[in-house]
Amino acid sequence: MDDLYDPNRNDPTRNAPSGNGLNGNGLNGHDPNRNEPDRAAADGADNRGNTPTGDGPGTVPTPPVPDSVPNSTPERIPSGGPDADRIRIGLWGAPRSGKTTYLTALPLAAMQHQRYHDGGWNISGMTAEAGAFLSRGMDLLTRQRAFPEATMGVREMAWSIQGPKRKGRLGISGRRPSFVLDIQDAAGEVFGDGHPQQAQLVGQLARSHGLIYLFDPLGDAETATESFNFLQSTLTQLTAQVRNRQGLVDGRLPHYVSVCVAKFDHPDIFRPAVEAGWVTQDTVGAQLPRVPAEQGEKFFQWMCDDFRGANARLVRDALHAYFDPRRISYYATSAVGFRLTPQHVFDYRDYVQPIEVDGTSRLRTSPEPINVLEPLIDLEERIYRDRGRERGLGGRLGGKRR
């Protein structure tokens, strides 16, 4: 193969420096196992201290140093503090549960958060690719009013998320929340048993402190996307990895989990929830409907017991078996929200957001994400609070034994 080094080949380009000053051996242009002049010789002196002149046999040509990435904007190193101090949050769910749409809606939700709360949240990509994903997603939802394409394979990205300073005691400004959303935007099929990329995905989840789990009641009704099949397979491998590094807490996974009941805006989910009395409506602003935060867990229980049935109950049982129930919170989530009137108010007579245009699903109005950012904020708060408590006791996150 052309890219392998042949010691019998006299290839002068083998000693050419790369863009970072290192050759393929990780050395500064010189391989001690090869009978060739070193860097000093390339600068005009041979191994005997003599300086060759002219174009004779003693002359060592100096190849030009190419630009590694020509005409590109220099990329800064990722920020966010030491890796051990970062709060890392992962994302997972069954096929077509809305993971990519959730990620696409996240920066929009962060911008809109200040409408209803004090201060705003900022999201920035920790790599050029992650930053481009944010920009493309914002354009897709707000200008094109279209949904992102389904993810194929695994794409690793990391975003830095920072919030406003919290008020401490006596109203004094306190800490500024900050964490890393370290995700692999993976096709739901990757979470299935036997997929070649599943180990890579599970490894990322194992390194996370918190998890966003998207539960899709609509997809759960279909055999090919049943939530429990993909959940159980992932949990089995995740537990094995964490157990092998002695990270289990009382036999359970140490993660904090936000369970998001996805597609809350869909009529097949929203209408039954309204009729069952789970939904309240704001009286100000856009007058958006929502499931009250204190009812989140009971809403999920109803979803499993009365709305979906046996398979969903297995999802609930698995979550309680593998995670500490005290570390799980629940949300009714919609990445795109409801259609609003021209006066920017919810109307129960006409609230469906997506419509079909030339065979493509489009959004009728600009999205108003519901409980997209909030599960992340809650995870960061709980992890930070308990991490500080455990450090004060001489423990560490994920290592405390109760």
* Residue at which a domain ends, from 51, 72, 93: 72
Q: For the chain, how many structural domains are there in total? A: 2
> Does residue 347 surpass a pLDDT of 90?
yes
Sequence letter at residue 199: A
Residues 130, 38, single domain; the answer is no
Q: Which of 297, 314, 215 is nearest to 262 (CA)?
A: 215
Residues 39, 97, single domain; the answer is no
Residues 95, 240, single domain; the answer is yes
> pLDDT exceeding 90 applies to what percent of the chain?
36
Residues 270, 379, single domain; the answer is yes
b/e string for 178-207 if b means 16 or more Cβ within 10 A?
A: bbbbbbbbbbbbbbeeebeebeebbebbbe
Residue written as tokens 């593998």?
A: 322
Residue 399 is assigned to a structural domain of this protein:
no
Residues 124, 262, single domain; the answer is yes
CA distance 17 to 22: 6
Residues 189, 168, single domain; the answer is yes
Please measure the distance between the N-terminal and C-terminal CA atoms of the chain and give it in whole angstroms: 56
Looking at residue 364, the DSSP 8-state letter turns out to be: S
Range of the domain at 41: 1-72
Residues 383-394: tens digit of each pLDDT? 988 877 766 654
Helix (H, G, I), strand (E, B) or coil at 306: helix
**94, 99, 102, 103: CA torsion to nearest 10:** 160
Phi, psi of 109 (to 5 degrees): -60, -35
Residues 65, 91, single domain; the answer is no
Residues 265, 328, single domain; the answer is yes
Sequence letter at residue 11: D
Residues 85-141: tens digit of each pLDDT? 678 888 887 777 888 889 889 999 998 887 777 678 889 988 888 888 889 989 999
Lowest mean pLDDT of 65-79, 171-185, 274-288, 363-377, name the range: 65-79
CA distance 137 to 107: 8
Residue 14, burial from CB neighbour count under 10 angstroms (0-12, 13-18, 19+): middle
As separate numbers, helices (DSSP H) first and strands (DSSP E) second, the chain gives: 9, 11
Residues 25-51: tens digit of each pLDDT? 443 444 444 444 444 444 444 444 444
The pTM for the full model equals: 0.73
Looking at residue 230, the DSSP 8-state letter turns out to be: H
Residues 184-238: tens digit of each pLDDT? 655 555 555 666 666 777 888 898 999 999 998 887 666 544 677 778 888 988 9
Q: Are 327 and 213 in contact (CB under 8 A)?
A: no
